[in-house]
């Protein structure tokens, strides 16, 4: 099978140029002007842009939380991603104990990965996993290197969620040393868990239960403090570290401070932290904006944009973890009614609102309008932050994140002039609201190819459950 894309403008992380591009089976085989080859299909991309498929390094699909589950699974979430121009997504494996009783309830890597592989059997785009490191002891320490044989080169640690996900700083430091010795990367969720626990208890005791108290009890300075603390551990261990969902301007400052001193630390932000603030949590529907870490201030929005404009940050993920706003009301998805308990669970108590929001489809269209067209970032930076840099950091480049001969033919044909009144009507995310309802966007995916197969053609879905492949990753780069 050959597909020839003609007369497009290729946008990579470093260059912009006119070219044709030939796809044979699953790969890009030729790039050049005026290609003339026999092909099964020819696509005219005149006045269109050709981008590498987006890579979302941070999603949570089919994730159990607060007695319910995130409403997108590895089919619905992947379908939504594809409609937004994303062709690879990276999920997180929850560390579960072995059913055999091995380790007396302690986490088992093999069993946990197997569980997530089964969940992902319905994948519609390519995918990979990170491992949540939520327990630590001598046995787990010895088994961490086995993850590399499974194709997983990332460990995620938490400095919050005391008694649930957090391990102590000494264990984080030991894990960093192991990661450094085995070519692995440590991802870190940075907040101050001790302060959060204290403030939550005080808020509830005083009867403060509305959504904005989710933000008040997770203070931004705790994120700044934890970011510098994790960077300090990275410096001492000489490990490579990636700070997820940076939401505070001060975190950008700490990232810059550490990187200028040679620490191998990288930073990710997410669209929600570029556009929304604690004021959104004060709205009558404020639960829609509940995620962890929470929204901050306009000043933080501005500093995060500066971090992107000036190249201090390295990636833009989504932390996609959607829940229904009102799971008591079914919604239609692919012709069937479905209802999943959601944010209504915390109607009277912010601590019971499932933490997470949709974004996997929204990321590229929103960032193109608000980033590229608004002049905050260049088209090349857009590709770097949303595709090429994640591929390099997470050991997938140049197979993914590239428009190169020999790369997978993950390609988005982008119409830079298409105007869309965006919102729930355009969204394929399986939830009952969209954060960007009514936003006027200019620039939108027209066609999306996954390894040479056309899976999105305008509003037509041509992909299917099971199309996605698991990507075994190798040691990545520090950017």
The yes-or-no verdict on residue 34 having pLDDT over 70 is yes
Q: Is the pLDDT of residue 188 over 80?
A: yes
Is the confidence at residue 39, as pLDDT, over 90? Answer: no
Confidence of residue 38 (pLDDT cuts 50, 70, 90): confident
292-316: average pLDDT: 98
pLDDT of residue 101: 60
Looking up tokens 């994730």 gives 63
Per-residue pLDDT, averaged over 251-280, amounts to 98
* Predicted local distance difference test score (pLDDT) of residue 5: 97
> What one-character DSSP code corresponds to residue 248?
-
Record the tokens describing residue 420, joined without a space: 């869309």
Q: How far is CA 358 from CA 81, 324, 325, in A?
A: 11, 9, 11
Q: What is the arithmetic mean of pLDDT over 256-262? A: 98
- Nearest Cα neighbor of 177 from 98, 220, 239 is 239
| Separation between Cα atoms, residue 112 and residue 147, nearest integer Å | 11
269-289 in b/e burial notation, b at 16+ Cβ within 10 A?
A: bbbbbbbbbbebbeeeebbbb
- CA pair distance 474, 479, nearest whole angstrom: 16
pLDDT, tens digit, for every residue of 198-235?
A: 999 999 999 999 999 999 999 999 999 999 999 999 99
- pLDDT tens for 61-77 read 999 999 999 999 999 99
Rounded to the nearest 5°, which phi and psi values hold at 191? Answer: -145, 170
Residue 448 C-beta-side C-alpha neighbours within 13 Å? 29
The mean of the pLDDT values for the chain is 97
Residue 366 and residue 73: Cα distance in Å, rounded?
A: 23
Q: Of 76, 13, 85, 79, nearest to 55 (Cα)? A: 85
3-state secondary structure labels for all residues of 278-316: HHHHCCCCHHHHCCCCCCECHHHHHHHHHHHHCCCCCEE
Which numeric CATH code is attached to 54-393?
Answer: 3.20.20.140
pLDDT for position 103: 58
Rounded average pLDDT over 134-139: 96
Which of 263, 273, 220, 226 lies closest to 241, judged by CA?
A: 263
Helices (H), 150-192: 169-181
What residue ranges do the domains of the chain occupy?
2-52+402-461, 54-393
Kindly state the percentage of the chain with pLDDT values over 90: 96
Residue 37, pLDDT score = 87
* Cβ(394)–Cβ(90) below 8 Å: yes
Cα distances (Å, whole numbers) of residue 278 to 63, 217, 273, 425: 25, 12, 10, 26
Question: What pLDDT score was predicted for residue 104?
Answer: 62
Average pLDDT over residues 469-473: 97
CA distance 160 to 429: 28
Q: What number is the average pLDDT over the span 146-150?
A: 96
Residue 163 is predicted with a pLDDT of: 93
8 A C-beta contact, residue 342 and residue 65:
no
> What is the arithmetic mean of pLDDT over 305-314?
98
**Per-residue pLDDT tens for 334-366?**
999 999 999 999 999 999 999 999 999 999 999
Give dist(CA 428, CA 324) in Å, integer.
Answer: 13
Over residues 191-204, the pLDDT tens digits come to 999 999 999 999 99
Please, which residues have CB within 8 angstroms of residue 412's CB and are 6 or more apart in sequence?
A: 50, 51, 52, 53, 54, 85, 87, 364, 445, 447, 448, 449
* HSE toward the beta carbon, residue 310, CA cutoff 13 A: 11
pLDDT of residue 460: 98
Weakest-pLDDT range from 36-40, 110-114, 380-384: 36-40
**Signed CA dihedral, 342, 345, 349, 351: sign only:** negative
Q: Does domain 2-52+402-461 have CATH number 2.30.40.10?
A: yes
Alpha-carbon distance of 264 to 185, in angstroms, equals 10
Range of weakest confidence among 37-41, 171-175, 400-404: 37-41
Nearest alpha-carbon partner for 439 in 373, 342, 357, 343:
373
Q: Let me know if the fold of 2-52+402-461 is the same as that of 54-393.
A: no
pLDDT reported for residue 342? 97
* Residue entry with tokens 């492949």: 469
73, 77, 50: which is closest to 63 by C-alpha?
A: 73
Say whether pLDDT at 392 is over 90. Answer: yes
How many C-alpha atoms does 407 have within 13 Å on its Cβ side? 24
- 333 vs 378: CA distance, rounded Å: 36
Per-residue tokens: 5: 């894309």
Across 36-40, average pLDDT:
82
- SS3 letters across 330-362: CEEECCEEECCCCHHHHCCCHHHCCCCECCCCC
Task: Give the whole-angstrom CA distance, residue 70 versus residue 91.
Answer: 12
| Distance in angstroms (rounded) separating the CA atoms of residues 391 and 467 | 20
CB 361 within 8 A of CB 78: no
């Amino acid at each position: 099978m050959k597909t020839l894309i003609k007369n497009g403008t290729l946008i990579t992380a470093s260059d912009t140029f006119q070219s044709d591009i030939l796809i044979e089976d699953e790969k890009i085989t030729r790039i050049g002007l005026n290609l003339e080859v026999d092909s099964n299909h020819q696509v005219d991309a005149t006045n269109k842009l050709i981008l590498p498929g987006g890579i979302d390094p941070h999603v949570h699909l089919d994730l159990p939380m607060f007695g319910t589950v995130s409403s997108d699974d590895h089919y619905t979430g992947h379908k939504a991603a594809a409609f937004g121009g994303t062709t690879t997504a990276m999920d997180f494996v929850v560390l579960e104990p072995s059913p055999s009783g091995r380790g007396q309830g302690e986490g088992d890597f093999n069993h946990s990965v197997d569980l997530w592989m089964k969940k992902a059997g319905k994948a519609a785009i390519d995918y990979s996993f990170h491992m949540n490191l939520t327990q630590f002891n001598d046995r787990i320490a010895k088994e961490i290197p086995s993850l590399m044989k499974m194709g997983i080169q990332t460990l995620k640690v938490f400095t919050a969620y005391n008694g649930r996900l957090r391990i102590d700083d000494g264990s984080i430091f030991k894990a960093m040393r192991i990661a450094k010795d085995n070519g692995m990367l440590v991802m870190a969720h940075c907040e101050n868990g001790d302060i959060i626990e204290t403030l939550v208890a005080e808020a509830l005791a005083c009867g403060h239960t509305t959504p904005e108290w989710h933000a008040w009890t997770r203070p931004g300075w705790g994120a700044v403090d934890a970011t510098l603390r994790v960077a300090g551990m990275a410096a001492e261990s000489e490990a490579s570290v990636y700070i997820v969902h940076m939401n505070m301007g001060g975190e950008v400052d700490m990232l810059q401070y550490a990187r200028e001193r040679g620490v191998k630390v990288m930073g990710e932000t997410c669209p929600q932290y570029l556009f929304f603030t604690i004021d959104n949590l004060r709205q009558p529907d404020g639960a829609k904006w509940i995620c962890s870490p929470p929204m901050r201030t306009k000043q933080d929005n501005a500093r995060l944009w500066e971090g992107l404009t000036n190249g201090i940050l390295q990636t833009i993920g989504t932390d996609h973890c959607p829940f229904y706003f009102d799971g008591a009301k079914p919604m239609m998805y692919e012709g069937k009614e479905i209802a999943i308990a959601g944010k209504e669970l915390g109607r009277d108590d912010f601590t019971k609102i499932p933490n997470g929001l949709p974004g996997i489809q929204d990321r590229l269209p929103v960032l193109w309008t608000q980033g590229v067209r608004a002049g905050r970032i260049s088209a090349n930076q857009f590709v770097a932050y949303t595709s090429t840099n994640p591929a390099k950091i997470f050991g997938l480049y140049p197979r993914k994140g590239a428009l190169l001969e020999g790369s997978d033919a993950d390609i988005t044909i982008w119409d830079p002039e298409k105007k869309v009144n965006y919102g729930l009507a355009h969204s394929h995310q399986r939830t009952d609201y969209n954060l960007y309802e009514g936003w006027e966007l200019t620039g939108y995916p027209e066609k999306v190819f996954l390894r040479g197969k056309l899976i999105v053609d305008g509003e037509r879905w041509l992909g299917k459950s099971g199309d996605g492949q698991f990507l075994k990753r190798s040691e990545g780069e520090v950017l």
